[in-house]
Amino acid sequence: MKLWEIDHPYYCSEGNYFSTGYYERYGSWEGFVESEGDNDFDRNLVFRWDWKPREFIEDDTLAGRQEYADRFGDRDHAWTLQVFWMLQRKGIFRCTEVEVCKADEPAVREWLTERAEHIRLLWEPLLPASASPVAKEDGHEEGLCPPAAR
């Protein structure tokens, strides 16, 4: 599935409700990577992204996005990538918006995947793959509470 085909549930505000100055725009993926590409993963925690049509579309569903893609093709900067960050050390929420085209998708996917792997570390103890119990010598399973004494 291509990044522009993904429709996340709900939405995220581009602005910081409590403060201004934490929204930045970049005219290209290359400009974004030059400025933000090697940010520290913990201090600049990426928690969400949205690849959207740059032009307003009435039908912002997968079908509507496909119609937009058919109409605009891979015209330069026909799309926008919003990246949502939490600056954990300072408690600051910020958003960056990047003008992208379909040709940027492999590089964007690689960049986002690295951040997805990092955020997974924070949640790993609760995720199904790491939550499978392991039997211990005493008969209890690691990760599960022993039976209550009666």
Model confidence pLDDT, tens digit, residues 5-45: 888 888 888 887 777 888 899 999 999 999 998 898 988 99
Tell me the mean pLDDT in the region 62-90: 76
Helix (H) or strand (E) holding 112: helix 105-123
Model confidence pLDDT, tens digit, residues 103-131: 899 999 999 999 999 999 999 989 886 54
Could you give the CA distance from residue 23 to residue 16 in angstroms, rounded to a whole number? 8
Tell me: pLDDT of 67 over 50: yes
- DSSP letters, 55-96, are S--S--SHHHHHHHHHHHTT-TT-EEEEEEEEETTTTEEEEE
Number of residues that this document lists for the chain? 150
Where are the domains positioned within the chain? 3-119
Could you give the CA distance from residue 48 to residue 40 in angstroms, rounded to a whole number? 16
Contact 88, 111 (CB under 8 A): no
Q: Which residues pair with 24 in a beta bridge?
A: 96
Could you give the CA distance from residue 96 to residue 110 in angstroms, rounded to a whole number? 17
Could you give the CA distance from residue 144 to residue 142 in angstroms, rounded to a whole number? 6
Read off the tokens for 111: 């960049």
Degrees to nearest 5, angle at CA 3 with 94 and 36: 35
pTM over 0.85: no
Tell me: pLDDT of 76 over 90: no
Share of the chain above pLDDT 90, in %: 37
Contact 49, 11 (CB under 8 A): no
